[in-house]
DNA sequence: ATTATCTATAGATCTATAGATAATGC
DNA sequence: ATTATCTATAGATCTATAGATAATGC
């Protein structure tokens, strides 16, 4: 049990370091050597825990399937109330590292043969469905402007991602949280 | 003149090929060899026209400063009317290559020491200002919901970028143009 | 002369495999 | 025994420089 625990700890350390390195250089730009160094291992020592670079990325993704804009308080049919989402955006504004890892990977994932592509495709499918459910819980079948929750969900997701890029590039110029609240205002008042 | 013209043509060919390769592998994943091959040159022959890989990327960016969601019919104080923007989104949905190049570069650009970072930072600053101007032209000082054009501009940009990622990952599942029109509806009717 | 390309190659990296050695658990 | 790490190293690439050669323009 102790050995297992130590192994798990090492694994977690490695995944954390991998997130950092990906934030700095993306997945393609990340090297096993850089990750290894950060946890005090040789590159070959690292490969004992994860057999290939791709396996390491997939482990990171599997581990972090509940990220920032992620699945939310999932399982619960309601999903993310918009108020909670706004808090999440505020929280994210305090941890640029995580946002940067996520955004760099999303950007890379649209290129060919990228190992994160399938992960993101599925994730967005799920997130859109979750968001639609949240909107339905909050607004019912139609939003104030007359749109269906399913039509607005992709916009909600797009706003979250798009604001992250603008904010990462120029944190002084973009207030992610304020902008998101503006978007919520745009959606209109939910029926009481 | 003929020589100059031939040189310019070659240069243009190279830039086109570079865009393609970046769409497929991103900038970090792109190799000079892949670009060279596409225009029938050796990698060293390519370096005669652009002295370094970074110079090649910067040339691409300088050349394409008037991209898709870009500066628009700029100069004109009005900027992009929302209707024209919607057409642009529709047009983009027909050229995934360009959208993919752009999105891959944007994603990479948030990582450290990325040569496109400054380009995108400045570009977004400008695009937000242009969008705010467009919104002001269309709506005046306040949008129907009461927000200032400057508060909505980053959202408009975020929606455009965010939808591109969702669409690139799953074109069947996301109708970029329809989603954008929904967003415009959300903004409300401009005063007549 | 100048421009465009090519061959040769230096110098860095990078991933991954093989096999040895040390540490830990039973 | 099993797990964790290390050294050595193969095998691929990649960017960029040096210098030769061919093509073009004056």
Mean pLDDT, chain B, as a whole number?
A: 91
Quick: pLDDT tens for B13-65. 999 999 999 999 999 999 999 999 999 999 999 999 999 999 999 999 998 87
| Residue B111 to residue A170, Cβ atoms within 8 A | no
Covered bases, chain C (protein CB within 7 Å) = 3-9, 13-19, 24-26
A102: nearest CA in chain B?
B107
Question: What mean pLDDT do residues B77-106 have?
Answer: 91
* Residue A24 φ/ψ region, left for φ over 0, alpha for ψ in the -120 to 50 degree band, beta for the rest: alpha
Quick: pLDDT tens for B59-86. 999 988 755 444 455 545 557 789 899 9
Buried b (16+ CB within 10 A) or exposed e, A112-135: eebbbbebbbebbeebbebbbbbb
Nucleotide nearest A45 (Cα, C1'): D5
**A178: distance to nearest CA of chain B, Å?**
8
Nucleotide nearest B51 (Cα, C1'): D16
Q: Indicate the pTM of the whole model.
A: 0.93
Instruction: Give the pLDDT score at A77.
Output: 53
Tell me the chain A residues in contact with residue B103 when contact means C-beta distances shorter than 8 Å: 107, 110
Cα B13 to Cα B59: distance, rounded to the nearest angstrom:
12
Q: Tokens at residue B67, please?
A: 């991209």
Give, rounded to a whole angstrom, the gap between the first and last alpha carbons of chain A: 53
Distance in Å from D16's C1' to B169's CA comes to: 36
3-state helix, strand and coil shares in percent for chain B, rounded to the nearest 5: 70, 0, 30
**Does residue B9 have a pLDDT over 90?**
no
B23: nearest CA in chain A?
A111
pLDDT tens for chain A, 192 residues long, are 333 456 788 999 999 999 999 999 999 999 999 999 999 999 999 999 999 999 999 999 998 875 544 445 554 555 778 989 999 999 999 999 999 999 999 999 999 999 999 999 999 999 999 999 999 999 999 999 999 999 999 999 999 999 999 999 999 999 999 999 999 999 998 887
pLDDT confidence bin for B2, thresholds 50/70/90? very low
Tell me the chain A residues in contact with residue B100 when contact means C-beta distances shorter than 8 Å: 110-111
Quick: pLDDT tens for B112-158. 999 999 999 999 999 999 999 999 999 999 999 999 999 999 999 99
């Amino acid at each position: 049990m102790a050995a297992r625990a130590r192994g798990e700890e090492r694994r977690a350390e490695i995944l954390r370091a991998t997130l950092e390195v990906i934030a700095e250089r993306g997945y393609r730009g990340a090297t096993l050597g850089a990750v290894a160094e950060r946890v005090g291992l040789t590159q070959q020592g690292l490969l004992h825990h994860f057999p290939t670079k791709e396996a390491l990325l997939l482990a990171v993704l599997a581990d972090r399937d509940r990220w920032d804009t992620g699945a939310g308080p999932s399982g619960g049919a309601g999903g993310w109330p918009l108020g909670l989402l706004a808090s999440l955006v505020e929280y994210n504004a305090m941890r640029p590292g995580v946002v940067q890892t996520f955004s760099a990977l999303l950007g890379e994932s649209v290129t060919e043969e990228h190992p994160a592509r399938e992960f993101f495709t599925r994730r967005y499918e799920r997130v859109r469905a979750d968001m639609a459910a949240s909107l339905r819980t909050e607004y019912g079948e139609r939003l104030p402007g007359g749109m269906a929750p399913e039509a607005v969900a992709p916009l909600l997701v797009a706003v979250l991602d798009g604001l992250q890029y603008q904010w990462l590039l120029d944190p002084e110029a973009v207030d992610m949280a304020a902008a998101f609240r503006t978007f919520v205002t745009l959606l209109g008042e939910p029926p009481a």
